[in-house]
Structure 1
Amino acid sequence: MKRIISIFILILFFSCNKHGQHAHGFYFWKSKLSLKDSEKNILEKSTVTNLYVRFFDVDKIGDKFQPIGVISKSENFSSSKLIVPVIFITNRTFLYIKDSEVDFLAKSIHELIVRKTKELNFRDISEIQIDCDWTAGTKDDYFRFLEKLKGLSHKEITSTLRLHQVKDKSKMGIPPVSKVYLMCYSTSSPLENSDKNSILDIETLKNYLSDVENYPIKKINIALPIYSWGIVTNHLGKHKLINAIAAKDLNHKDLEKISNNEAVVKKDGFFFGYYLNKGFKIKVEQIPEKTLDEAVVFLNQKIPKFNIIYYQLDERFIKNRKFAL
Structure 2
Amino acid sequence: MKKICLTFLFAFILCCQNSEKHSYTFYYWRTNLSLNTTEKETLNKTNTPYLYTRFFDIEKVNGKFQPIAVVTKDETFKTEKEIVPVVFIKNDVFYDITLEEIHFLANNVFSLIQKKQKDFGFKIAHEIQIDCDWTAGTNKEYFTFLTKLKEISGKQITCTLRLHQVKNSKLSGIPPVRKVYLMCYSTSSPLENSSRNSILDVPTLKDYLKSVNKYPIKIDVALPIYSWGIVTNQLGKHKLINALSSKDLENPNFKKIGQDKVQVLKDGFYFGNYLNKGFTLKVEAITDDQLNEVKAFLDKKLSDYAIVYYHLDGKFVSDHKF
TM-score by length of 1: 0.93
The reply on whether 1:247 has 2:246 as its aligned counterpart is yes
Matched AA of 2:285: Q
Matched AA of 2:99: D
Map 1:125-164 → 2, pairs under 5 A: 125-164=125-164
CA positional deviation for 1:72: 1.5
2: CA distance, partners of 1:277 / 1:14 = 53
Map 1:7-46 → 2, pairs under 5 A: 18-46=18-46
CA positional deviation for 1:320: 2.9
Matched AA of 1:135: T
2: CA distance, partners of 1:15 / 1:257 = 38
Change in 2 beyond 3 A, CA 1:169/1:11: farther
1: CA distance, partners of 2:127 / 2:277 = 49
Count of equivalent residues: 316
CA positional deviation for 1:77: 2.1
Higher RCO, 1 vs 2 (CA within 8 Å, ≥6 residues apart): 1
CA positional deviation for 1:123: 2.6
Change in 2 beyond 3 A, CA 1:45/1:98: same
Cα distance per residue 1:121-179 (max 9 Å; x no partner): 11333100000000000000000000000000000000000000000000000000001
Cα distance per residue 1:249-298 (max 9 Å; x no partner): 21211101011211100111122221100000111100111000000000
Residue of structure 2 equivalent to 1:81: 81
CA positional deviation for 1:73: 1.3
Change in 2 beyond 3 A, CA 1:11/1:238: farther
Matched AA of 1:33: L
2: CA distance, partners of 1:254 / 1:262 = 13
1: CA distance, partners of 2:11 / 2:216 = 31
Residue of structure 2 equivalent to 1:227: 226
Residue of structure 2 equivalent to 1:122: 122
Is residue 231–residue 241 contact of structure 1 (8 Å, CA) maintained in 2? Answer: yes
| Secondary structure of the structure 2 residue equivalent to 1:301 | helix
Query: Tell me, which stretches of 5 or more residues in structure 2 are unaligned?
Result: none
Change in 2 beyond 3 A, CA 1:289/1:252: same
1: CA distance, partners of 2:151 / 2:142 = 14
CA positional deviation for 1:14: 6.0
1: CA distance, partners of 2:125 / 2:48 = 15
Is residue 18–residue 296 contact of structure 1 (8 Å, CA) maintained in 2? Answer: no
Residue of structure 1 equivalent to 2:212: 212
Is residue 18–residue 297 contact of structure 1 (8 Å, CA) maintained in 2? Answer: no
Change in 2 beyond 3 A, CA 1:268/1:95: same
Matched AA of 1:320: D
CA positional deviation for 1:314: 0.4
CA positional deviation for 1:19: 4.6
Change in 2 beyond 3 A, CA 1:19/1:186: farther
Query: Tell me, which stretches of 5 or more residues in structure 1 are unaligned?
Result: none
CA positional deviation for 1:49: 1.0
Change in 2 beyond 3 A, CA 1:289/1:265: same
Is residue 167–residue 211 contact of structure 1 (8 Å, CA) maintained in 2? Answer: yes
Is residue 268–residue 274 contact of structure 2 (8 Å, CA) maintained in 1? Answer: yes
Change in 2 beyond 3 A, CA 1:17/1:243: farther
| Secondary structure of the structure 1 residue equivalent to 2:30 | coil
CA positional deviation for 1:17: 7.8
Is residue 48–residue 307 contact of structure 1 (8 Å, CA) maintained in 2? Answer: no
2: CA distance, partners of 1:281 / 1:123 = 45
CA positional deviation for 1:31: 1.2
| Secondary structure of the structure 2 residue equivalent to 1:165 | helix
Matched AA of 2:118: K
Sequence identity (%): 54
2: CA distance, partners of 1:118 / 1:175 = 29
2: CA distance, partners of 1:314 / 1:19 = 22
Matched AA of 1:297: A
| Secondary structure of the structure 1 residue equivalent to 2:164 | helix
Residue of structure 1 equivalent to 2:290: 291
1: CA distance, partners of 2:291 / 2:112 = 36
| Secondary structure of the structure 2 residue equivalent to 1:21 | coil
Is residue 15–residue 297 contact of structure 1 (8 Å, CA) maintained in 2? Answer: no
Change in 2 beyond 3 A, CA 1:314/1:155: same
1: CA distance, partners of 2:19 / 2:278 = 40
Residue of structure 2 equivalent to 1:63: 63
CA positional deviation for 1:248: 2.4
